[in-house]
């Protein structure tokens, strides 16, 4: 058993930046920086309702999830060709590599694009090609998770799944995202059952703005392997016990929670309470271009605001690989790399 070494507080930001980590909750369309949105808009002759990059950035003042989604879908309108999807994913993957993200399982929203006449093939092939290049050129293990938009119907989710199945080898699982309130997980029970029978991994957003009941439904009706967000689980002691007992990972996104006013004050975030209750919590960036930071910013700012320590950092790093959809040998190899960095930072190397 690895004993977490004592690490001085002033060395904690260095540790957080250097430690190997996996990112399990990142919407690739949410990594579109304003500069790339404008560049792709020009390349594809698409006009945007903003005069400049700065004007677009100033629009990122969200009051809730829906106010963000309105701008998120507008930004995605510049994605037309396979190369656009490649360029978007490649930009994120380079940032991930620079921040010591060794494994990433990226969400993508095909319905956002097929509704605009962009083919499923265009979306998936562009993203997949970037994943292949990330492994070869950056040493980053990258995979795709197809998300259904929950504000649309289950029938439309089935149609999306059928469109994606010719590219089954290009994605590892399915998820559920978009507007949570009023769209409980059980709305998609049948399509998730179909995906389970296909051998796909299952995850779902639940308990971000929605109540703990949505987390229960995601677990018991959809039978997901991970809960995306899940921070509202702390309001239900029985649910907290269930999540801890079954080692169900929560892919928590602190800066997103602050930006969307789930926790308006980052210092009030319950990440530490989730960890201390024995839950397999992880840290992720969600939509980093919109919410003010990629992985290292989420770690450094959250630790500074909440007073979390090196033991918390170690748990989060190890949890991220343990909760990922990679094989046991790869998990052990990544865990060894986490241990090595903690020992290195502790010794001042």
Q: How far is CA 218 from CA 31, 65, 190, 241, 245, in A?
A: 26, 19, 13, 16, 16
39 vs 33: CA distance, rounded Å? 10
Spatial contact of 244 and 278, defined as CB atoms under 8 Å apart: yes
Query: Which residue reads 């980053």 in tokens?
Result: 140
216 vs 203: CA distance, rounded Å? 13
From the candidates 33, 208, 209, 322, which is the catalytic residue? Answer: 208
Query: Which residue reads 């779902």 in tokens?
Result: 204
Name the phi and psi angles at 2, rounded to 5. Answer: -75, 130
191 vs 280: CA distance, rounded Å? 27
116 vs 314: CA distance, rounded Å? 43
Question: Residue 147: which H helix or E strand, with range?
Answer: strand 141-149
98 vs 84: CA distance, rounded Å? 22
Cβ density class 246-267: b for 16+ within 10 Å, e for less: eebbbbbbbbbbbbbebbeebe
Burial of 94 (0-12, 13-18, 19+ CB in 10 A): middle
Tally of CA atoms within 13 A in the half-sphere of 56 that contains its CB: 22
Tally of CA atoms within 13 A in the half-sphere of 136 that contains its CB: 7
Active site residue 208: yes
Query: Which residue reads 């296909």 in tokens?
Result: 198
Catalytic residue numbers read 208
């Amino acid at each position: 058993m690895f004993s977490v070494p004592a690490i001085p507080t002033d060395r904690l930001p260095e540790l957080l930046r250097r430690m190997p980590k996996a990112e399990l909750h990142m919407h690739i369309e949410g990594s579109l920086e304003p500069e790339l949105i404008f560049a792709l808009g020009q390349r594809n002759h698409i006009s945007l309702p903003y005069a400049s990059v700065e004007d677009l950035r100033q629009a990122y003042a969200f009051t809730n999830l829906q106010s963000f989604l309105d701008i998120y879908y507008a930004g995605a309108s510049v994605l037309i060709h396979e190369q656009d999807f490649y360029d978007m994913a490649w930009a994120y993957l380079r940032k991930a590599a620079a921040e010591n993200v060794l494994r990433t399982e990226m969400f993508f929203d095909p319905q956002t694009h097929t509704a605009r006449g962009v083919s499923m093939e265009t979306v998936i092939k562009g993203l997949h090609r970037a994943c292949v290049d990330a492994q070869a050129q950056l040493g980053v293990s990258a995979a795709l998770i197809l998300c259904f938009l929950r504000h649309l119907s289950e029938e439309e989710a089935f149609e999306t799944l059928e469109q994606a199945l010719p590219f089954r080898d290009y994605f590892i699982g399915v998820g559920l995202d978009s507007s949570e309130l009023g769209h409980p997980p059980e709305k998609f029970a049948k399509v998730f059952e179909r995906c389970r029978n296909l051998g796909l991994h299952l995850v779902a957003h639940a308990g971000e703005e929605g109540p703990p009941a949505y987390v229960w439904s995601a677990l018991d009706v959809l039978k997901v392997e991970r809960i995306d967000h899940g921070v509202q689980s702390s309001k239900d002691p029985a649910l907290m016990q269930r999540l801890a007992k079954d080692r169900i990972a929560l892919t928590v996104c602190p800066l997103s929670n602050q930006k969307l006013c789930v926790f308006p004050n980052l210092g009030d975030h319950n990440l530490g309470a989730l960890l201390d209750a024995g839950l397999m919590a992880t840290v992720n960036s969600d939509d980093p271009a919109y919410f003010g930071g990629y992985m290292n910013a989420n770690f450094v700012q959250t630790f500074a605001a909440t007073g979390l320590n090196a033991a918390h950092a170690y748990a989060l790093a190890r949890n991220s690989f343990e909760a990922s959809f990679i094989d046991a040998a790869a998990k052990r190899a990544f865990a060894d790399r986490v241990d090595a960095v903690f020992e290195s930072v502790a010794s001042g190397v």
